[in-house]
Amino acid sequence: MASAGVWVFFYGTIMNPNVLNEYGVTPIHVSPGKLNGFDLVIRPRPNLARSERACVFGSLMKVSQGELAAIYTSLEERFGLQYLPEAVLVESLDGVLRPALCYLAAHMPETPPEPQFVKQLADCARTMQLPEWYALHIESLAHP
């Protein structure tokens, strides 16, 4: 029998299981992944914008519905942002495609990101062993 849970693509700092643990969540499975057709924006929190010429790297994880609710309720309470699920197709770094949920904020203020947060996000990308060029791309978002 398959283990219970939902596949989710995380692209912010919660792509790192250690950061996710701060929300009381221990994912069942964690692997790096790539989502085509979106670009990362940070205004001041991470979000995705549709772009046919871009891709976003992050972590593909399996978590429970209750854990998902806890994560996104906490983010809404802490930052006043409502992230909503969207069905996506994530590519693992070995080329396997997997349907997953990805949470996007429909509305976010046009506020520049804090450089310290951008560095933390780039460090998460490196910890997850995502491509170095992607970590450098994240760092470039601190200086729009």
CATH number of 6-140: 3.10.490.10
pLDDT tier, 1 (very low <50, low <70, confident <90, very high otherwise)? very low
Asked if pLDDT for residue 72 goes beyond 70, the answer is: yes
CB 84 within 8 A of CB 16: no
71-90 b/e with 16+ CB inside 10 Å = b? bbeebeeeeebebeeeebeb
DSSP 115: H
Which tens digit of pLDDT belongs to each residue from 93-134? 889 999 999 999 998 888 889 999 999 999 999 999 999 999
143 against 101, higher pLDDT:
101
